[in-house]
Amino acid sequence: MNRLLGFCVIALALASSLFAKTPVILDTDAYNEIDDPFAVAYVLRSRDVFDVRGITAAPYHGGDHAVDSPAEGVALCHKEILNIKRIMGVTDVPAYMGAPRFMTDTETPVRSDASAAIVAEANRCAAKGERLTVIAIGALTNVASALLTDPKLAEKIDLVWLGGHLDNASEFNLNGDRYAAKAVFDSDVPFTQIPCFGVVDKHYVPCQWLIDNLKGCGAIGEHLTSLVKWANMDRRIIWDITAVGVFMTPRAYTFETCGRPTIYIDKDEYGPARPGAKMRRAVEIDKKPLYDDLFGRLSEVYNKKTKLF
């Protein structure tokens, strides 16, 4: 009897771990490029996989939706997160305002509701023996600021970041806040990098194909279609979904473990890795299963079937 009871307890524990959702915060410059709203919608339609603890607005400067300052950029990103939540009928996921400026050195955080939320949710997870995953798809200001605010945060979170290139460190998200990127690379936070050029730049798809696939995706499909049309390009890459896809279609990814390079503030190349400092890096991503999963989840058929909202 005791043996049977023990077996049941183990089976239940295994089942709960198999079906445990990943606690996640998505940090996004949602108004910068049209790919961020795809990623936000993807996360919000994947709540069988993610326990979404919040979506944080990242600052940006320049960009597709050009802005004059990071303060203007982060405010528009926050507004766009709220807009996507409204369109999708999501009322139980908080949107947090991020840093209004970039970091000015590698040691001074730019505190914000976003960095505070990352620290608070990481502590909530840690209290239950869990780890918070932060998926970052913009400049790393909020993440670096959280790491600097709580020196023990690196022990409590895992980070997946779309940014940098495979062979050099001159890329929009990285350039947005090089001090923040350096602080993150110099930290001990478990870190998966999804490089842009050399990996995700193989993911060009025709814009008309995106529009065709968004038919039948309801109000969020119409919103994403309007963004694709606004971009007015023949083909493009939906960069940011690849950071979400790490959890959704992991078999589509080939990773390598590599040294964790030094980021220079004033040089485009990666510097040598600190001795023993490692990270995981995607080197190849098969886009077909990723897009199949994305559009399947965005469809109204899926939405009605799962009754998430």
Residue numbers of the site for Ca ion (CB under 5 A)?
A: 29, 36, 137-138, 240
CB of 74 to Ca ion, least distance (A): 12
Nearer of residues 156 and 287 to Ca ion, judged by Cβ = 287
Distance CA 123, CA 121 (A): 5
Nearer of residues 161 and 270 to Ca ion, judged by Cβ = 161
Nearer of residues 183 and 238 to Ca ion, judged by Cβ = 238
236 alpha-carbon distance from chain centroid: 19
CB of 199 to Ca ion, least distance (A): 15
Q: Say which DSSP state 67 is in.
A: B
Q: Which residues contact 281 (CB under 8 A, 6 or more apart)?
A: 166, 192, 193, 194, 195, 255, 256, 257, 258
Nearer of residues 207 and 244 to Ca ion, judged by Cβ = 244
CB of 144 to Ca ion, least distance (A): 16
CB of 137 to Ca ion, least distance (A): 4
CB of 243 to Ca ion, least distance (A): 9
Distance (Å) of CA 276 to CA 109, 183, 259, 270, 280: 26, 17, 7, 16, 13
- Tokens representing 158? 């895992």
- Tokens representing 86? 């409204």
Nearer of residues 57 and 93 to Ca ion, judged by Cβ = 57
